Structure formats: structure tokens, C-alpha cells
Chains A and B, each alone.
Chain A
Amino acid sequence: MAVPLNENMWDPDTLERKPSRDGFGKGLVALGEKNPDVYVLCCDLTDSTRASWFKEKFPERFIQVGVAEQNMAGIAAGMALEGKIPFIASYAVFSPGRNWDQLRVSVCYSNANVKIAGCHAGISVGPDGATHQALEDIAIARVLPRMTVLVPSDWLEAQKATIACGEMNGPAYFRFGRENVNTITVEDTPFRVGKAETFYDGSDVTIVANGLMVYESLMAAKQLEKENISARVINLHTVKPIDREALEKAARETGGIVVAEEHQVQAGTGSAVAEVVSETYPVPMRYVGMPDRFGESGQPKELLQKFGMTASQIALKATDVLKLKK
């Protein structure tokens, strides 16, 4: 059964549009109010990551590290080993992009309770170009033992993810986008780390998505309906630990899967899903994401269009999968 969502979600013009980083900012403030051990560290990107919202409220618990992501990860590890709950905020290309070795040894191997917030993730960063478009972060985060990996779909889910991260023990990476996205979840939409949620019921094919591709997948499901194809949409906001049960069930019940993500196709969410499906109940699969190349400058919409991360591409791949079904 599909979970409660914004009842106006099929009418995009009525939806509130906000970047998911806003949810991070709000979530941090909520956590800060609840727990005096929560600290936020930032690398000279305080406003754009929304760490500034925490800083305004709790200046004594905000730590400016300067442009030094490796040092930020290490300082956070030292604080976590002393019992604090540090959140480190930067752009995903820099953290986990630039401090991966520190995340591997100082954080994950040492089991330091550090939370890594990767903002401006995905191609939808837009005009800044390829250097700033994190399309590899899910891959390099999920490969680390002990690392939880979360990819929320809108600002409200990002807020829930931030709070969930602060309340769980252990290293966690969560990524956000810069661009305004449609708010499709509501307060009552359940969010539990490790639990995939069905956002739309369907029986012919399953679309697994996260981040802003969840909305595109819902639109794809609507398009497919016109062709009498019933597509299930699963929000896989937790890439790790992955919900094996939901994925196996989807494979069994629908017989084909498309995975859509704002990330390189290789080694990201799609690969994570394939690892489960190939082991539990192999079915035809197709992937929507960046096809093993770097991005470029452009408006978010133009880039998503150019690289095929859209509802119509997802629908097309779903029909491909249907042709392969036995």
C-alpha cells in the first residue's frame, strides 16, 4: 500500500517548491534544540549548505573550519570519539569527494559518530558545471563499511533524514540538492532509515528512485498509466542499509525494475538494487542516471533533460523492461 503523500502531487503548479538543503537546515535546528551534543562544522559554505540556520541559533556549537574538508572530517572524528555528535557540512563533491580517506579511517574504521552532509549533489547544481556536480558520492559512500547512506526526495524528507541521522548511532552520509524541487511528501509520510516506501502502487513494473528522481518517477508512472501499464514507485531514500525485503517483493510481484537516480549509473543506487535483485529474485532491470560521463554547465532542467534524467526517459526504460519480461 502506498504511503500518504501530498494529495495535489499530480498538479505540480500547486506544490511548494523548496531545495532539500532547507530540510537539512531545519533538521539541524530541531536536533540542536533537543540535544546539546549536536555540533555543526562547516568549510566556508555556511549559507549555501543552510548550516547558517544552526549557527544563528547555536553559535557556540557552530565550528568554522575554513576550506579544509579533510581536516573537518578528522576534527569531527576527534569530537565524536569524545562523545559529541558532529555534523560536517560541505558540497558533496568535496565531502565525501575530497575527504574520502579520512571518512574511511578516521570515521568509519574508528566507528566515530560523524554525520556527513553532502549538499549541492547531482547534476541539478547546474551552471557551476561538472566540477561541482557530485555524481559519484553515493558510490564512494556506500562502499565504506558501517556507513549509512540517505538520499531524501524533498525538503520535508530531508528534514526527517537529518533528524534520523542525529538520533542514530554511527557514521551516516546524506545528500541534498541545491535546486528547488516539488514537495511531495507530507508530515505523515513515514520515514525510517533502512525502510523503502511505496509511493505509488503498481503491478507491471517497479520504478525504484531517490532524490529528485522520485518525483520524476511518479510522473513516469502517471504517463505509463495512459498506456495501460501499472508501475509501482518505490522511494529508496536509504541506499544503505538497503531494504532487501521491499526490493525482492517488488521483483517478485512486478517482474521488472527501473532504477532512477541523479548519479552515475555505475556503482550507485542502481548497482545497489541490482546487487539485491540478482541475489534474491533476478528480473530484467534498466537504469536511469548519468551514463559514465561528466556533466557540464546549464540550467538544472536543461541538464536533466540532456542526460535523460526525466519522467519520459524513465517511462521509456519501463517499457523496455516490460518487453524483456518473461
Chain B
Amino acid sequence: MGAKALTRDIKQLKLVANAVRQSIIRSLAEAKSGHSAGSLGFADVFTALYFGIAKHDPRNPDWADRDRIVLSHGHVVPVRYAAMAEAGYFPKEELMTLRKLNTRLHGHPHNEALPGLESSAGPLGQGVSIAVGMALTAKLDQKNHFVYLLTSDGESNEGQVWEAYMFAAKNKLDHLIAILDRNYIQIDGNTENVMPLEPLAEKFRAFNMHVLEMDGNDMKQVMDALEKARKLKGKPTMIIANTIPGKGVSFMEKNYLWHGKAPNPEEAEKALAELNAEKTRLENEG
């Protein structure tokens, strides 16, 4: 037993992210429902966490000193399942059971169904408080692990998240690192039309958080920001990850209609062809 070996090799991480995206497309197409855009957009962040940053052990998911990875906007859980399968938590074939009867991979994550999920999620906002509660416990117990909270811009419509951030700042939970998927889409359209969030970074600063911004689809920037966040002290950190929803599949990118939709077989085939071409390109890169 021991922590999973991590890498700083950007090319290698990009190739893993590509494999994660392919798994997302396959599992969603097989499930015939689910959320494509946010899952694809967050693939680089999840890859960086599971393969480059977080202390964890797929063979021992309950390892007491692991970093906690808490997904709050549970509808993008296909990206988490894909990353976990890639990391060795369970066989990749199991991804094909997504959303099906008797699966461990529910449409929204259930902590009891699959080891390593940390928490259940679905109704937006709840995971933020759960992550804060975990970070508080770590601090009370004088533990050094980090709690990585994955959240989204649409989710920030919920009042509960702001209650939780206030509490995190009050308690100086500097081992809480939130990563917010800023992809500007939610079910009913553009976030700034549904319920404007800007100036978002200023809001988090006003809530007494460290704020970092990055291109959430640029692996180097993602790794740099996550590493920097661990060194910030005295306050919780919010990393705003600017991402492209549907990233990696041209016809899904930036189209809010792909928020809650799975690809049909033809669309999946087209998507996989694009991702395979990208994989070849990456492999041939210097």
C-alpha cells in the first residue's frame, strides 16, 4: 500500500485527460443520458488532481491521510468516474454501467455506492458545506491533508455556498482549495443571463478567500495553480477555472444545449474520432 505515484509531466497528463474524455463520451453514450459539457470541460482539472496533485491511494480509498476530493456539482460525475477508473479505483469496463440498474455509478454520486467518492451530491450547494466540514475536521484534528472542492459557476446561484464560504473564511481553513468551473453555461443558458455572477473573483475576495484564476483547460496552468494554492496560508483558496464546456469535442464546445445531454451513437463516434486525432497529435508532439 502507498500513495499513488504522481507526475508533473504535462504531456503525460494531457494524454491521461484525453483518455478521460474518451471514457466520458463512451459511458455517456452507453447510458443514453447525462451531462456531457461540464464533464468534458473539467477533465483537465480532474486529471491534474488524480494524477498530478492529490495524495490518494486507489487500493486504499479510505486511507486516513488522503487528500479529500469532494465533488459538489454532482451532475458532472462522469468525469470523476472516468478519472477514478483511469487511476485504478475500478476496472474501466465498469464505466459502461453508468446510470444503469444495480450500478455503483449512479447518475449523481452516492458515497456509499463506490469507495473513494467522499460524499453524495445532486442538489446544488450541498457539497460545498460538506467539504468545509471536512476541512474544519482536519484542522480540529491537526491533520495536514487538503480538501479539494470541485464546484461550478451555476452552482453558485445557491445561497448555501456563500454561507459555507463565510464559515470557511471565519475559520481560516487554508487547507480548503475550491476549484470552480467557470464555463458560463447552465441549463437555461448563459450564466450571465440566468443570474449574473460577475464580478465573481471580487466576490470571493470580499468573502476573505485567496483567489487564483487559470485557464482550466491548459494543463500547465492547472498544475501551477493547484501547486500554488497549497502554499497559500491563512484563508481558504478559490481557484476560478475558466473552461470551455464540451472541451475537446468541436460540436459540443461552448454550446449550452450540451449541458444535460448525452451523445447518440453517431455523435459519440464523431467525438471519439476527434479525441483520437488529438491523442495522435499529442503523442507526436516533442
Stretch at the interface among B19-27, B38-46, B128-136, B268-276: B128-136
Please state if A75 and B133 are interface contacts (CB–CB under 8 Å): yes
Q: How far is the CB of B82 from chain A (nearest CB, A)?
A: 22
Is B60 interfacial (CB 8 A cutoff)?
A: no
Task: Give the complex CA separation of A83 and B137 in angstroms.
Answer: 9
Q: How far is the CB of A101 from chain B (nearest CB, A)?
A: 5
Is A78 interfacial (CB 8 A cutoff)?
A: yes
> Chain A residues with Cβ under 8 A from B125's Cβ?
70, 74
Q: Mark A72-114, 1 if CB is under 8 A from B, else 0.
A: 0111111111111000000000000000011001100111000
A81-B118, A82-B134 in contact; A101/B123 too (CB < 8 A)?
yes
Please state if B120 and A74 are interface contacts (CB–CB under 8 Å): no
Q: Which residue of B lies closest to A99 (CB)?
A: B160
Task: Give the complex CA separation of A104 and B140 in angstroms.
Answer: 26
Please state if A77 and B167 are interface contacts (CB–CB under 8 Å): no
Partner of A84, one of B135, B137, B163, B164: B137
Is A68 interfacial (CB 8 A cutoff)?
A: yes
Which of the listed residues A68, A76, A101, A105 has the most CB atoms from chain B within 10 Å of its own CB?
A: A105
Please state if A65 and B167 are interface contacts (CB–CB under 8 Å): yes
Which of the listed residues A80, A81, A84 has the most CB atoms from chain B within 10 Å of its own CB?
A: A81
Is A66 interfacial (CB 8 A cutoff)?
A: yes
Is A276 interfacial (CB 8 A cutoff)?
A: no
Is A71 interfacial (CB 8 A cutoff)?
A: yes
Please state if B133 and A76 are interface contacts (CB–CB under 8 Å): yes
Please state if B167 and A75 are interface contacts (CB–CB under 8 Å): yes
> Chain A residues with Cβ under 8 A from B159's Cβ?
70
Please state if B167 and A68 are interface contacts (CB–CB under 8 Å): yes
Please state if A77 and B119 are interface contacts (CB–CB under 8 Å): yes
Interface residues of B in 126-179 (CB under 8 A from A): 126-138, 140-141, 159-160, 163-164, 166-167
How many chain A residues touch B (CB < 8 A): the figure is 26
Q: Which residue of B lies closest to A60 (CB)?
A: B140
Please state if B112 and A74 are interface contacts (CB–CB under 8 Å): no
Q: Which residue of B lies closest to A111 (CB)?
A: B112
Q: Mark B247-282, 1 if CB is under 8 A from A, else 0.
A: 000000000000000000000000000000000000
Partner of A78, one of B123, B130, B166: B130
> Chain A residues with Cβ under 8 A from B112's Cβ?
110-111
Interface residues of A in 144-179 (CB under 8 A from B): none
Partner of B132, one of A75, A80, A110: A75
A71-B129, A84-B137 in contact; A106/B167 too (CB < 8 A)?
no
Task: Give the complex CA separation of A184 and B128 in angstroms.
Answer: 44
> Chain B residues with Cβ under 8 A from A246's Cβ?
none
Which of the listed residues B110, B129, B133, B159 has the most CB atoms from chain A within 10 Å of its own CB?
A: B133
> Chain B residues with Cβ under 8 A from A78's Cβ?
119, 129-137
Task: Give the complex CA separation of A311 and B130 in angstroms.
Answer: 45
A71-B129, A81-B118, A110-B112 in contact; A105/B123 too (CB < 8 A)?
yes
Which of the listed residues A60, A74, A105 has the most CB atoms from chain B within 10 Å of its own CB?
A: A74
> Chain B residues with Cβ under 8 A from A105's Cβ?
120-123, 126
> Chain B residues with Cβ under 8 A from A15's Cβ?
none
Please state if A68 and B163 are interface contacts (CB–CB under 8 Å): yes
> Chain B residues with Cβ under 8 A from A79's Cβ?
133-134, 136-137
Please state if A71 and B111 are interface contacts (CB–CB under 8 Å): no
Partner of B163, one of A60, A70, A101, A111: A70
Interface residues of B in 218-272 (CB under 8 A from A): none
> Chain B residues with Cβ under 8 A from A84's Cβ?
137
Please state if A71 and B137 are interface contacts (CB–CB under 8 Å): no
Please state if B167 and A66 are interface contacts (CB–CB under 8 Å): yes
A68-B167, A106-B120, A109-B120 in contact; A74/B137 too (CB < 8 A)?
no
Is A63 interfacial (CB 8 A cutoff)?
A: yes
A77-B119, A78-B130, A110-B120 in contact; A63/B136 too (CB < 8 A)?
yes
Task: Give the complex CA separation of A237 and B85 in angstroms.
Answer: 47
Q: Mark A104-130, 1 if CB is under 8 A from B, else 0.
A: 011001110000000000000000000
Task: Give the complex CA separation of A74 and B151 in angstroms.
Answer: 15
> Chain A residues with Cβ under 8 A from B126's Cβ?
74, 77, 101-102, 105-106
Please state if B119 and A81 are interface contacts (CB–CB under 8 Å): yes
Q: Mark A239-271, 1 if CB is under 8 A from B, else 0.
A: 000000000000000000000000000000000
Q: How far is the CB of B23 from chain A (nearest CB, A)?
A: 26
Partner of A110, one of B111, B138, B166, B167: B111
> Chain B residues with Cβ under 8 A from A77's Cβ?
119, 126, 129-130, 133
Please state if A74 and B136 are interface contacts (CB–CB under 8 Å): no
Q: Which residue of B lies closest to A74 (CB)?
A: B129
> Chain A residues with Cβ under 8 A from B120's Cβ?
105-106, 109-110
Please state if A74 and B132 are interface contacts (CB–CB under 8 Å): yes
Task: Give the complex CA separation of A70 and B126 in angstroms.
Answer: 8
Please state if A106 and B129 are interface contacts (CB–CB under 8 Å): yes
Q: Which residue of B lies closest to A77 (CB)?
A: B130
Please state if B164 and A74 are interface contacts (CB–CB under 8 Å): yes
Interface residues of A in 35-84 (CB under 8 A from B): 60, 63, 65-66, 68, 70-71, 73-84
Question: Can you pick out 25 interface pairs between chain A and chain B where the beta carbons lie within 8 Å of each other?
Answer: A60-B140, A65-B167, A66-B163, A66-B167, A68-B163, A70-B129, A74-B130, A74-B132, A75-B133, A75-B136, A75-B164, A78-B135, A78-B136, A79-B133, A79-B136, A79-B137, A81-B133, A81-B134, A84-B137, A101-B123, A102-B160, A105-B123, A109-B110, A109-B120, A110-B111
Given contacts A70-B125, A77-B126, A77-B133, 7 further A-B contacts (CB under 8 A): A71-B132, A77-B129, A79-B133, A82-B133, A82-B137, A83-B137, A106-B120
